[in-house]
Amino acid sequence: MSVNEVAAGRICFPAAVVGLGRIGQGYDYDVSVGAGPVLTHANAFASHSGFDLVAGVDPSAAERARFELKFGVPAFDSIEAMQRHVNPSVVALCVPTANHMEALELLLQKPLRAVLCEKPIAATYAEAKRMTACAKRADCVLLVNYMRRFEPGVLALKQALAEGCCGDLYKGVVWYSKGFLNNASHFVDLLRFLLGEVGEIELIHAGRVWAGVDPEPDVRIRFGDCDVHFLAAREECFSLACVELVGTGGFVHYLDSGERIEMRQVVPDPDYPGYLKLSDTARQVATDFRRYQWWVAEHLYRHLVDGTALYSDGETASQTLETVERVLNLTKG
């Protein structure tokens, strides 16, 4: 396992992407490296000076050809084939969720500094715990890609909430589409990060099942001292992903999946003495959501070089998956 030094003295970790689908390379494939959005692991490793993209892995010959054409490095049809030819220090694991455990075990047959695993970490909570233990035995960092935990706007919002910008948060609403496991789980994880751990869960309506595999329930979940209602929208009409949080001193809007974050604070009503209202002007929290995957890579780099604490790892992702399982079990009656 090699770690290179770049000209400026910056440590550079050889990195590979296993699974060359949408999050592996597809979402921003038509964007030149370093010239726009960073929405995939391949683009993140290629555009971050702390990583050297050295390989890709995918069973699809077409995806391998696309990868080699854009990034100029080899792609292999299996993890074993990659391991015979290149020796990455860091791997982004982007295969289907059901294959995460098997792929991780194969990867850890060779020494690795870190695996950046797509969410959800596993198909079940039990399997997630096994993966976490497996990485720990191998002394391998396991970061899970709940990317909102690393995005600068979310970190600024977390700090502002901790400083009391909106008082005590006590109620919220999440609108989501395209399934609870696939999409709502992002916001379960985000609200654990912002508000605290999960308490009571109440099913409101079981709803339908997206694509025959992922339920879309309406459900109330308590995070710390805040009750949040998750409400399912219809993906075939339009995608929806937003959060509203109400506090004793203000209101938070997390809009367009996280591209916009706004806060409105309580002020005296100028027309009605003794009454309070939300400010007419919202405080805009600067975000960099279009480059969220770069920030994931940066966070992993800082952990590997400086020992900065991880915001999302096997343990935190396992707890999120446990909450999701509790919700999904309620839909089964």
Checking if the pLDDT of 289 tops 70, the result is: yes
Residue 272: which H helix or E strand, with range?
none
142 with 23, same domain: the answer is: yes
8 with 102, same domain: the answer is: yes
CB 122 within 8 A of CB 46: no
Checking if the pLDDT of 94 tops 70, the result is: yes
CB 226 within 8 A of CB 234: no
CB 131 within 8 A of CB 36: no
262 with 309, same domain: the answer is: no
Checking if the pLDDT of 5 tops 70, the result is: no
How far is residue 234's CA from residue 216's CA, in Å, rounded to a whole number? 9
Checking if the pLDDT of 204 tops 70, the result is: yes
Burial (Cβ within 10 Å: 0-12, 13-18, ≥19) of residue 325: middle
Q: How many domains does the chain have?
A: 2
Q: Name the more confident of 69 and 333.
A: 69
CATH number, residue 89: 3.40.50.720
Q: How high does pLDDT run on average in the chain?
A: 95
83 with 140, same domain: the answer is: yes
Domain span at 249: 152-287
pTM of the model: 0.93
DSSP letter for each residue of 222-243:
EETTEEEEEEE--TTT---EEE
Identify whether 325 is part of a domain.
no
71 with 120, same domain: the answer is: yes
Q: Domain boundary residue among 287, 304, 321?
A: 287
265 with 171, same domain: the answer is: yes
pLDDT of res. 7: 42
CATH number, residue 246: 3.30.360.10
136 with 14, same domain: the answer is: yes
The first and second tokens of residue 203, run together, are 């099913």
- pLDDT over 90 for what percent of the chain? 95
DSSP letter for each residue of 31-90:
SPTTSS---SHHHHHHH-TTEEEEEEE-S-HHHHHHHHHHH-S-EESSHHHHHHH---SE
Mean pLDDT of 54-72: 98
227 with 120, same domain: the answer is: no
Predicted confidence (pLDDT) per residue in 296-326, tens digit? 999 999 999 999 999 999 999 999 999 999 9
Checking if the pLDDT of 8 tops 70, the result is: no
Mean pLDDT of 25-49: 95
pLDDT of res. 4: 54
The number of residues in the chain equals 333
Identify whether 46 is part of a domain.
yes
138 with 49, same domain: the answer is: yes
How far is residue 17's CA from residue 14's CA, in Å, rounded to a whole number? 11
Identify whether 123 is part of a domain.
yes
69 with 109, same domain: the answer is: yes
Identify whether 282 is part of a domain.
yes
45 with 158, same domain: the answer is: no
pLDDT band at 2 (very low <50, low <70, confident <90, very high): very low
297 with 219, same domain: the answer is: no
- pLDDT over 70 for what percent of the chain? 97
Identify whether 320 is part of a domain.
no
CB 265 within 8 A of CB 283: yes
How far is residue 266's CA from residue 44's CA, in Å, rounded to a whole number? 40
Identify whether 214 is part of a domain.
yes
Beta strands in the chain (DSSP E): 4-5, 11-18, 51-57, 75-76, 90-93, 114-117, 141-144, 169-176, 198-205, 209-210, 214-215, 218-223, 226-232, 241-247, 250-255, 260-268, 276-278, 283-285
pLDDT band at 34 (very low <50, low <70, confident <90, very high): confident
Identify whether 331 is part of a domain.
no
Checking if the pLDDT of 278 tops 90, the result is: yes
Checking if the pLDDT of 6 tops 50, the result is: no
How far is residue 203's CA from residue 209's CA, in Å, rounded to a whole number? 15
Identify whether 179 is part of a domain.
yes
Predicted confidence (pLDDT) per residue in 232-244, tens digit? 999 999 999 999 9
Mean pLDDT of 163-185: 96
Mean pLDDT of 4-27: 84
pLDDT of res. 333: 74
